[in-house]
Amino acid sequence: MNELALKYGCNPNQKPSRIFMEDGSELPIKVLSGKPGYINFLDAFNGWQLVKELKQATGLPAATSFKHVSPAGAAVGLPLDETLAKIYWVDDCGPLSPLACAYARARGADRMSSFGDFIALSDVCDRDTAMLIKREVSDGVIAPGYTDEALELLGQKKKGNYNVIQIDENYRPAPIERKQVYGVTFEQGRQELPIDDALISNCVTKQKKLPEGAKTDLKIALITLKYTQSNSVCFVKDGQAIGIGAGQQSRVHCTRLAGQKADNWFLRQCPKVLNLPFSDHITRAERDNAIDVYIGPEYMDVLADGAWQKVFTEKPEVFTEQEKRAWLDQMKGVTLGSDAFFPFSDNIERAHKSGVAYIAQPGGSVRDEDVIATCDKYGIVMVFTGIRLFHH
């Protein structure tokens, strides 16, 4: 099969729609269930490239959670501690496989953005991973294969209509890629830049010590950025993206957006949040929304109108700004990647507030010296990659 008809394009009025191979060769995918749409396939193919590269760069199983052609989260399969298992709502699942840990991390970093995601997995989907997918609101999954147990579990989603795609892991696209905009064909070489130790070896700050864990996290950040709509910035901690700022016109807005997501990820680990008295009848998604409101400034409004009674068994104490800042001051060792240079040092000032200790960016701004000086002020290690990673 070298083409697949789709229901419609990005929107229902955009018909006809299909995916096909221009050279007449076979499509590198099989749809095992469901009817994936135009945006589903955009998410699937971008997500697959991301996790494939993460696996190659780290040697660990990888997963990503995509929404609207950008990752909401990406991670490798490191074990979950008790706190992470609790904030990702998998503490009732027992020990998980490495691939399942990767998906729990990818989904859990920004659970609100991951609601209704399209999942990409680097390895054959196993029972543990399918079990996590089955209980979440999701549009579909792409992987190089599925165990029989995994297919049985996924077949129970959406009355058997959940989108399950199998991709040929040996497929290699042509080195030149094309797309059309307004009837005009664009052509370019594929972004095949390897994200490796050599790319992050040019340290430009006074502090130059880059631990192995930080190197891994920087690779995760940069690979994630390769498949994130630009401008983009990615915060990573302990093998997973914890904040992604995508598609912003201003770089500092990317940094602020990603930094706020990283802060929320860490605030969810505070005992005051971990011990919130949730009502038993609410869903995981409703708990995620309640936590987001609780750690945000609008919680005072919720207290005032009594809406807290819908999700809590008793009225939680206010999480003051002073308490939040004191907790966030404990977040250390975060890495940050940027798909293009930082034009001003305000990005570094914001990154520092979220515990960033290691940065990778292309360099090349007329204000590079100011940015480096700000890193030196905080003892941040920064490397220049010399390569931009725009993705459109």
Query: Measured between alpha carbons, how far is 181 from 222 in angstroms, rounded to an integer?
Result: 27
Q: Which residues pair with 178 in a beta bridge?
A: 187
Q: Is the sign of the CA dihedral 264, 268, 272, 273 positive or negative?
A: positive
* pLDDT recorded at residue 94: 86
**pLDDT by residue (tens digit) across 160-186?**
999 999 999 999 999 999 999 999 999
CA distance 145 to 128: 14
Length of the chain counted residue by residue:
392
Residue 275 among the catalytic residues: no
Alpha carbon distances (Å) from 42 to 66, 346, 366: 10, 34, 36
Give tens-digit pLDDT for 326-357: 999 999 999 999 999 999 999 999 999 999 99
8 A C-beta contact, residue 134 and residue 156? yes
In the structure encoding, which two tokens stand for residue 100, read together? Answer: 């399942």
Amino acid at 345: S
Confidence of residue 315 (pLDDT cuts 50, 70, 90): confident
Question: Which is the catalytic residue, given 40, 46, 163, 231?
Answer: 231
The residue-averaged pLDDT of 90-113 equals 94
pLDDT for 305: 65
> Which own/partner contact pairs does 88-97 have at CB distance under 8 Å and 24+ positions apart?
89/284, 89/287, 90/132, 93/128, 93/131, 93/132, 96/128, 96/132, 97/126, 97/127, 97/128, 97/129
pLDDT at site 347: 96
- Judge contact between 45 and 51, C-beta under 8 A: no
Multiple choice CATH, 193-267+330-384, 3.30.930.10, 3.40.140.20, 3.40.50.2300, 3.10.450.710 = 3.40.140.20
Q: Assess contact for 295 and 317: CB atoms under 8 A.
A: no
Query: Is 52 among the catalytic positions?
Result: no
Helix (H) or strand (E) holding 266: helix 251-267
Confidence grade of residue 300 (pLDDT, cut at 50, 70, 90): low
pLDDT in tens, 199-255: 999 999 999 999 999 999 999 999 999 999 999 999 999 999 999 999 999 999 999
Instruction: Give per-residue pLDDT as tens, 24-73.
Output: 899 999 999 999 999 999 999 999 999 999 999 999 999 999 999 999 99
Q: Mean of the per-residue pLDDT values for the chain?
A: 94
Residue 302's pLDDT is what?
64
Confidence category of residue 309, pLDDT binned at 50, 70, 90: confident
Name the residue with tokens 């959406």: 158
**Residue 280: per-residue pLDDT:** 87
Which of the two residues, 308 and 369, has the higher pLDDT score? 369
According to DSSP, residue 112 is labeled H
β-strand 232-237 against 240-246: which pairing, if any?
Answer: antiparallel
Kindly list the distances between the CA atom of residue 194 and the CA atoms of 53, 200, 219, 222, 386, in Å, as whole numbers in the listed order.
9, 11, 10, 10, 13
pLDDT at 197: 94
pLDDT at residue 298, as a whole number: 72
392 catalytic? Reply is yes
Q: What are phi and psi of 361, to 5 degrees?
A: -150, 160
Q: Residues of the chain with pLDDT > 90: what percent?
A: 89
Please calculate the CA angle 173-188-1 and round it to the nearest 5 degrees: 30
Average pLDDT, integer, range 272-280? 92
C-alpha separations of 272 from 92, 94, 122, 319, 349 in Å: 20, 24, 35, 8, 27
CATH 3.90.420.10 fits 3-167, yes or no: no
Whether the predicted pLDDT of 304 surpasses 60? no
Q: How far apart are the first and last CA of the chain?
A: 28
Q: Poorest-confidence range of 10-19, 30-39, 258-267, 307-316?
A: 307-316
Mean pLDDT of 349-378: 96
For the cut 70, the answer to whether the pLDDT of residue 193 exceeds it is yes
Return d(Cα 327, Cα 313) in angstroms, integer: 25
Where in the chain is CATH 3.40.140.20?
Answer: 3-167, 193-267+330-384
pLDDT at 230: 94
DSSP letter at 283?
Answer: -
The answer to whether 119 touches 139, Cβ cutoff 8 Å, is: no
Distances (CA, A) of 85 to 78, 79, 244, 328, 355: 12, 9, 21, 20, 22
* Integer CA distances (angstroms), 230 to 98, 339, 389, in order: 30, 7, 8
Choice among 52, 67, 237, 352 that is catalytic: 67
- pLDDT-derived band at 84, boundaries 50, 70, 90: very high
Which residue is listed with tokens 């789709």? Answer: 6
Known active-site residue 231: yes
Query: Measured between alpha carbons, how far is 338 from 5 in angstroms, rounded to an integer?
Result: 37
